[in-house]
Amino acid sequence: MLSESFEKIIASEKPVLIDFYATWCGPCKMMPPILKEVKDKMGESISIYKVDVDVHQNIAAHFSVNSVPTLAVFKEGKLVWREPGVKPAAQLVQIISKL
């Protein structure tokens, strides 16, 4: 079951990018500067959150997150895009702009 606060976050009308990560994951450590670049380029048109899969196992299980990092975009509470692995900021901006 999802927490009320998580459901509120993903219910946003603007796209919400979730970075499912783990503190022990090497590639996950590459994501913060990429996410900052996405936020800098997209500004207020997007919200970005990080979800630690070890702390929030229920959320990770609900979305069947089996590898980290996994990036997911939600809009109005619906999962509209999802892919595992590190993605360059330019690619993420392009994907999110199309949603």
User: What's the one-letter identity of residue 15?
Assistant: P
Q: Other CB atoms closer than 10 Å to residue 46's CB: what's the count?
A: 20
Q: Which residues are catalytic?
A: 25, 28
What's CA 18's distance to the chain center, in Å?
1
The rounded distance, in Å, linking the Cα atoms of 16 and 12 is 7
Is residue 29 within 8 Å of 85, Cβ to Cβ?
no
